[in-house]
Amino acid sequence: MCKEIRVLNILTGGLRREGITSTQLEFMRKMDFSDLRIDFLAVHNNADDVIKEFESLGCKVIIAPDRKQHPIKYLRFLKKLIKAENYDVIHVHGSSSLLALELSVAKKLKMPMRIAHSHNTKSDNAKLDKLFRTKFYKSYTHAFACGKDAGEWLFGYRPFTIIHNGNDFKKFEYNQYFRSEIRSKYEIGNKLVIGYVGNLNNNQKNISFLLDVFAQVKSRNNNSLLFLIGDGAYKEEAKQKVESLGITDSVIFTGRVSNVNEYLQGMDIMCLPSFYEGLPNVVLEWQIAGLPCYVSDKVTDECKVSELVEFLPIDNGTELWADKILSTRISDDRTEVSQNSCRAMREAGFDIVESAKLVKSIYMSVRHK
């Protein structure tokens, strides 16, 4: 009988409704757990419903001291945990060389496979990132990245493996029933609906810019709505700005939802005016749903898998964005567009089933070390 491979996954941003966590949930839904045990360490800003979702998929979730508030206590806890559970693999997800915190502990304990996984193209803590770079480069055995730009950002000229986030095409493909349900729930009727999905933070996602864009759209087409699907530190400021712009009745804050795929069906156009991204999985999901996507020119072009994506500048004001949105042809039935996008996604390697198989094969290769 083959030895069970034990994996400890750590999402340094915590287990909550955001991009990296959502991606890992999708991976776990498609993962073959035979001869494999995958635990998740909840390290910061965790959501109970997300923890329960991981557990329902067969993963054990371990609550750790807060990584940001109590780093020393956290690292001591991690050391004891690794010793007690005898893990074969540690897989740490983030966007900076601070991944070295976990990877160095694992290295000292002689863990044979230590995976650093880059999910972005910038760190929120540039000084600390620079400080930990040398230590980081010596701490991992395997380098993963969600895309080319994210890999080059964290690993530089060193080799890395691209693990596409992958998508469940059946879940996100266009669905007329869900479109009717969402539009009925919010009494949308024939209004033009612009959507955004992600964290409501302004330093990366540029939500303030999006609100200015929508205010222009609204002034020229009163029959329009903006859906902000997600939550974050900028939410209250965003609400204040919405009030100051006089568009309160036309901006819907849904909060974090577990059925994003259903909400997408009710949208008409999606926007992502970010200052930076790794490879934004949401843009892939939007294309699967057959939605036109206007994306900041600061975002990697790796997310453009179909002609539905157009990159627009964010340094030249909001008028161009408003013009593009208002000139977009809205289809009553996105079925064919969605099917074409799914084919393009498969050809580009964004099938979650294949991505999960690849990750498992790498995990299992630790047997030969």
Tokens at residue 110, please? 């002689």
pLDDT at 1: 55
pLDDT at 167: 79
Q: What confidence tier does 124 reach under pLDDT thresholds 50, 70, 90? A: confident
The lowest-confidence range among 30-34, 161-165, 196-200, 326-330 is 161-165
pLDDT at 250: 98
CA distances in angstroms from 19 to 55, 68, 131, 294, 296, listed in the order given: 19, 19, 26, 18, 17
Average pLDDT, the chain: 95
Q: What confidence tier does 168 reach under pLDDT thresholds 50, 70, 90? A: confident
pLDDT at 190: 94
DSSP states along 153-204? HHHTTS--EE----B-HHHHS--HHHHHHHHHHTT-TT-EEEEEES---HHH
Tracing tokens 């005016």 back to the chain, one arrives at 273
Tens of pLDDT, residues 84-123: 999 999 999 999 999 999 999 999 999 999 999 999 888 8
| Percent of the residues in the chain that have a pLDDT greater than 70, as a whole number | 99
What residues contact residue 170 under an 8 Å CB cut-off, 6+ apart?
Answer: none
pLDDT at 17: 83
Tokens at residue 264, please? 């997408």
Q: Is the pLDDT of residue 19 over 90?
A: no
- Sheet bearing 309-312, strands edge to edge: 251-255, 224-229, 192-197, 269-272, 293-296, 309-312
- Residue 315 per-residue DSSP state: S
pTM: 0.83
The residue type found at 346 is R
In 3D, which of 287, 236, 259, 269 has the Cα closest to residue 182?
Answer: 259
Asked if residues 289 and 334 have their Cβ atoms less than 8 Å apart, the reply is yes
Q: Is the pLDDT of residue 68 over 80?
A: yes
Q: Mean per-residue pLDDT for 262-283?
A: 95
Cα 74 to Cα 63: distance, rounded to the nearest angstrom: 10
Cα 55 to Cα 49: distance, rounded to the nearest angstrom: 10
Q: Mean per-residue pLDDT for 213-225?
A: 97
DSSP states along 222-268? SSEEEEEEB--TTHHHHHHHHHHHT-GGGEEEEES-S-HHHHHHT-S
Cα 192 to Cα 226: distance, rounded to the nearest angstrom: 9
**β-strand partners of 63:** 42
